[in-house]
Structure 1
Amino acid sequence: MSSRNNKIQVQVFNESNQKPVPRTKIQEVVRRVFASEGIKEAEINVIIVTDEKIHELNLEFLQHDYTTDVITFPLSENPLEGEVYISADTARNQAVEFGITLTEEILRLAAHGALHLAGYNDATPEEKKIMSTLETKYMHAGQS
């Protein structure tokens, strides 16, 4: 499987004051999720933001008055279009908590957001377990 697919477009924007992982790694993870999940055409924006910004988005669009690590907005289904917002601040804190690098945590969150866009949910413990297993699979696939 090639990590380059011209019909799966992934753009990464850094709107935080954190130096995120290289854009190409985020793009590769999102493309890997979609290719493996049978999504052949997509336009996705991954936006790295601050805790303040993700809190604003969470409150405005989901009516949740708290900070979170990742929020996904599906915009259309065919072709798939969507946005994945990742909080660099929360990712940094979770990386420390989980004993992993910031890069690994941002890649996990990118995979998580892509899985939501691919139709997965994490409302129940079983769904969370499935998504967690897939996040790990996709963020480590292709690494030697």
Structure 2
Amino acid sequence: MRVLLQRVSAGKVSVDGTVTGEVGAGLVALVGVTHSDTEAEAEKLAQKTANLRVFSDAAGKMNLSLLDIGGGALVVSQFTLYADARKGRRPSYIHAARPDIAEPLVKAFAERLSQAGVSQVAHGVFGAMMQVEIHNDGPVTIMLDSDLL
């Protein structure tokens, strides 16, 4: 499982012009799932996301977590995190999990964030064409990969 985190001052996701989720200060988590992922990966990445110190303290040092600032998380499924662009000019998505595997794990990731104490967890619509507004703060962008944790 891969989670691309972006620290934001605000984030919003819409489907067909209707807002399905939005957060203020916090993180946007773009979540990709591969074939071998389980709920254990969702749990591990949710804990890392909630506790990763990527927010500035009073001295300007990145020393605070999402939990510390009481921030929100906007979870958006993104199978393209498993794109393979090594051959040709069109990426292959063979390493991305099928929707019947990926959807429950994206939901599990969001649920685990809530269980970890994240005060607001919003989300997009799995499999839908979404418009995502991300107001990057920093910018701070961090890739988490369950195989590397």
The two structures have a TM-score, normalised by structure 2, of 0.27
Larger strand percent? 2
Of structures 1 and 2, the larger Rg is shown by 2
RCO higher in structure (CA 8 A, sep ≥6): 2
Larger helix percent? 1
The two structures have a TM-score, normalised by structure 1, of 0.28
